[in-house]
Structure 1
Amino acid sequence: MPIDSIWSYAPDVSHVQAQDLTGYTVLASDGTIGHVDRQADHHGMRHLVVDTGVWVFGRSVLVPVGVVAGIDSRERRISVSCTRAEVKAAPRFRTDSETMDPAYLGSVGEYYHRLPPRETPTG
């Protein structure tokens, strides 16, 4: 899979271009990560900023949409194809300005691109 694909929804993910995912619960393969705080598409690098709540207290994480394995609009849930530990180990997200920094986004994309593929969580 080319690294550019980490910034695009997989063809089998039912995502509508203008769909607002704010507030959706984000589930890793082994549990809840948090809720979508906002979504962005800077420099063609589409991603979600996820508020982790009490899991990683006071911290948000940036998740490229290429790891989204499924969207359940009725249940307002998003499944991602990685574990909680993998999300936590990603390059640290500190400020909103990083969502516009191509170097930071590139390091996040490279990190997620190197993760081994795995099964979709069943939720």
Structure 2
Amino acid sequence: MNTESWEAWSFRTKTGETGLQAENLVGFEVEATDGGIGKIVNGSTDDGSSWIVVDTGPWIFGRLVVLPAGTIDRVDTEDEKVYLDLTKEQVKDSPPPTEEAAAPDQEYRGILGTYYGGIYGPRGGGF
């Protein structure tokens, strides 16, 4: 993972990827580096404020998890899977949503930015 240029709230762009829309990812399976964690149920592609919400099902007792777009390593549109560069434990230990996680507010985004910034390095918390 490249921590020098990591931005929490922006989707990463790779050669050949354009027009990634969080809304089009609803229903996609989400894979951590060590296994599946659930399905995307919501998301946003607002400039500088992009995120997804994952329903973890029984894995962590049906908890919804908000993930900044910068945690997504790649998207496989054919298999409808989103791959993170985080472990299941890192996702499990993330701060729980303050409400229903429909849209993370500025305060919660700051909490998430701090948590994931500790994983990705000193530049990770910015938004």
TM-score if structure 2 supplies the norm length? Answer: 0.79
Q: Which residue of 2 aligns with 1:92?
A: 96
**C-alpha deviation, 1:17, in angstroms:** 3.6
Q: Distance in 1 between matches of 2:120 and 2:20?
A: 27
More strand by share: 1
Does 2:6 match 1:12? no
Q: Which runs of 5+ in 2 are unaligned?
A: 122-127
Of 112, 119, 126, 1:115 maps to 119
RMSD of aligned residue pairs (Cα, Å): 2.4
**C-alpha deviation, 1:110, in angstroms:** 1.8
Mean Cα displacement is larger for which, 36-45 or 64-73?
Answer: 36-45
- Overall identity of the aligned pairs, in %: 29
Number of residues of Structure 1 aligned to a counterpart in Structure 2 = 116
| Secondary structure class of the residue paired with 2:109 | helix
Q: Which residue of 1 aligns with 2:81?
A: 77
**C-alpha deviation, 1:109, in angstroms:** 1.5
Q: Distance in 1 between matches of 2:77 and 2:45?
A: 20
Q: Which residue of 2 aligns with 1:121?
A: none
Q: Which runs of 5+ in 1 are unaligned?
A: 118-123
Mean Cα displacement is larger for which, 102-111 or 33-42?
Answer: 33-42
Amino acid at match of 1:6: A
